[in-house]
Amino acid sequence: MAEKKKGEGKKVSRRKFLIRSGFGTLGVLAVGTYVFRNSIRRSLLSMANSMELAYMGDTSDPMIWFEITEENNVILYSPKVEMGQGTFTSLAQIAADELDVSFEQMRVEHAPTETGNIDGMSTGGSTSVSGLWQPLRELAATMREMIKLKGAARMGVEPSTVMIREGVLSSGQQTMTYADVAKSAGEWDIPKTPKLKDLKQYQYVGKPIPRIDLEDKVYGAPIFGMDAEMPDMLYGAVCRPELIGSKFINADTSAAEKMPGVVQIVREDDFVGVIAESMTAAENAKNSIQVNWEAAKDLQQEDLEALITVGNGKHTIIQKEGSALKDEDAFALEFRTPIGAHAQLEPNGVLAHVEADKATVILSTQVIGITRKEVAGRLNLKEEAVNVIPTYLGGGFGRRLHTPHAVQAAVMSKAVGRPVKYYFSRQEEFQHDMFRPPTHHIVKGKVGATGQLEGLEHHFVSGDVANNSALMPKVLPGIIGADIGAVRGGIIQYTNIPNHRAVYWHVALPFATSWWRSLGLLANTFAIESTVDELALRSDRNVVEFRLEALSDNAISRRLKAVIQAVAKKAGYTEEILNGRAMGLAASIDAGTPCAQVAEVSIEEGEIKVHKVTVAMDPGFAVNPDQVRAQCEGCVIMGMSASMFEQMKVVDGSLQPIIYGPYRMALMKHAPKEIDIVLLQGTDKPGAVGEPPLGPIAAAISNAVRRLTGKRLTRIPLNLAEV
């Protein structure tokens, strides 16, 4: 039995902890500057490009973060979810070092909302470790101090005589474990936060410790939302339309009602659901329901591309320096990127149990607080009456920042009076994804007589990313004027160019688009870095020098310069084609982390083959260098997949395809055999890791193809047959 210390009459005192949230800061600033002019907007947007949507929750009280078990282990209740990015491991390293326990004594669990440790924001934006770096160290150090003071009192010794090692206090001949102290203590004081340790004193932080969830994931433990069960559980399914923009008119459920295994049909204003004894029975019954949908019109891919074209919709100048390029002076390229699916392997699903005055909801979610709020709102319950139990995510990638299915499962559970588990079919996953929006870009550049960039402009259009998301205050788009997600990577990073600007166009799409790992970064970097490469080639310039001289002399630009130089050196960058292989280089900054990549590519049997990718990245201080590398490898492969194979298309009014395979993705045979990674440490604080390496990959591959074929590819997925 775990020894719970939560709620044991803590005395609130002398708190040093603050809510550290870049977003909170931005919110305040944004409101304050509402009436100001566009230059302020632009500076806000450049902030948004690097901002931390870190953490909004309670960092004042160690009691809601830690629990000490009988076995003298420490459970860290994480308000951030683990979706593969390695956050749990890094958090455990940080906590172990400041708590003075061994890594082996650390356990990490998702904090159910009933613990009170609730993140008002999300797990996303590559901010979990960087955002919790300071508060978690303070919490752990305070927890250690609290135990030390209590233990010293119990032993009747001066706190200054107490030594701590692996969760055991000792003073003279006396020893007490953390568990002994926890059991004996009635009332706790929250002491003043002691001085944090020096980086050099850390035993685990900064080391490539194996993932804390490794064994669970290798031996097949039931840790995912999909694996959740409750006694007496039923299965649900919800009718969904196949055509974009469909409106529900009515449904004939008479056949479904008579089908074997069906327990109940649920009809609500906004959905029709089936509850059955098994998932198969629920699916079969759902498929027998005749739903009358009214679909607006049969949209086609050409209509979508005509809509997503620079010049349509409203525009915002998000960056402006010097004068605009005249078309007759400028070299211009146009680019298109497609609708992208998340395609995470674990379908969205949820297990909900609604009782008289409370609800329990188990699921994979990146927005624990929002899930709870939405379920409580629909059921007319207080938020405190809904306990959201987050699980490990079978992939997040931004897909789980929307959880309306939790509301549907809760409604079904309430209707039937038993727990209901419900998850999406793969067709529903593909057709009702919250997609990465399609984009169109015009990039213009001008090289002066000396061979240096004189002007660079990025004009681009995208569907929503951050806007219309429950995470964003509704007023934000109006204030900032642009979608802070769509513009990620969209501003010109080469600010030493005398004339540079970025103009964002917003178009409303007839289907939902939203957060997809790295947001606008993948598409925007593809467009800009392809054009920079083309301009260097046409001016007969070295691609490294051409970039370096265009970068300013400020902190972030210096770090970007360093990764560009490092990647070129490590890859042995050359313009020569060796053994049929060419290299392509590209670089980007995302969320304050610069990253450069070189792809080594050949053409084999008419297809692009990526043999090797070299990555240089400066994420600041790496809490776990092995997991930083794992994120680089993963981003390279996911980015390769997205840039070489993946696209959703609008076909006769529906989104297609509806299954893996036809939705082409990178497989084992496509993955590079070599991924060489150099990590630089330009700051002593942990920075963003999970998304920045997705920036350069598409342009790096495409730039290599340019050298092999003489052809500049301008569309994702990259296609050699492009005309």
Partner 1 sequence: MELNFTLNNQAITVDVTDENHPLLMVLRDTLGLKGTKFGCGKAACGSCTLLIEGEAVRACSYPVKLAADKHITTIEGLGSPEDPHPVQQAWIEEIVPQCGYCQPGFMMATVALLNKIPNPTDADIDKAITNICRCGTYYRMRKAIHKAADLNQTPSEGSNL
Interacting residue ranges for partner 1, rule: CB under 8 A: 83-86, 210-211, 213-224, 226-227, 229, 260, 278-280, 342-347, 392-397, 423, 425-426, 626, 630, 633-638, 640-641, 659-661, 665-669, 671-673, 675
Per the omega criterion (within 30 degrees of 0), is the bond before 717 cis? yes
Closest approach of partner 1 to the CB of residue 638, in Å:
5
- The answer to whether the CB of 441 falls within 8 A of the CB of 527 is yes
**Residue with Cβ nearer partner 1 (396 or 455):** 396
Q: How far apart are CA 721 and CA 723, in angstroms?
A: 6
Nearer to partner 1, 412 or 497 (CB): 412
489 contacts: CB under 8 Å, gap ≥ 6: 49, 518, 519, 520, 521, 522, 523, 524, 525, 528, 588, 589, 590, 695
H or E element at residue 488: none
Neighbours of 209 (CB within 10 A): 21
Answer for the pair 87, 78: CB distance below 8 angstroms, yes or no.
yes
Of 66 and 235, which has the nearer Cβ to partner 1?
Answer: 235
Could you tell me where the beta strands, DSSP code E, fall in 91-246? 106-110, 163-165, 168-171, 174-177, 234-238
Reduced to 3 states (helix: H, G, I; strand: E, B; else coil), residue 436 is: strand
Beta bridge partners of 388: 361
Could you tell me the smallest distance in angstroms from the CB atom of residue 466 to partner 1?
22
Is the CB of 96 or the CB of 666 nearer to partner 1? 666
What is the maximum alpha-carbon separation in the chain?
Answer: 86
- Report in angstroms how near the CB of residue 208 gets to partner 1 at its nearest: 8
Question: Residue 440 and residue 457: Cα distance in Å, rounded?
Answer: 14
To the nearest whole angstrom, how small is the minimum distance from the Cβ of residue 235 to partner 1? 8
Both structure tokens of 47: 């902030």
CB of 698: closest distance to partner 1 in angstroms? 14
Nearer to partner 1, 332 or 658 (CB): 658
Q: How far is the CB of 105 from partner 1 (least distance, A)?
A: 17
Nearer to partner 1, 456 or 640 (CB): 640
Distances, alpha carbon 39 to alpha carbons 49, 434, 477, 488, 650, in Å: 15, 32, 16, 18, 38
Least Cβ distance, residue 716 to partner 1 (angstroms):
17
Q: Which is nearer to partner 1, 189 or 227 (CB)?
A: 227
Least distance (Å) from partner 1 to the CB of residue 610? Answer: 11
Tell me how far, at minimum, the Cβ of 209 lies from partner 1, in Å.
10
Tell how far CA 279 is from the center of its chain.
30
Residue 614, phi then psi, degrees to nearest 5: -105, 135
- Whole-angstrom Cα distance, residue 279 to residue 57? 37
Nearer to partner 1, 68 or 226 (CB): 226
For partner 1, give the closer residue by CB, 35 or 668: 668
Q: How far apart are CA 85 and CA 82, in angstroms?
A: 7
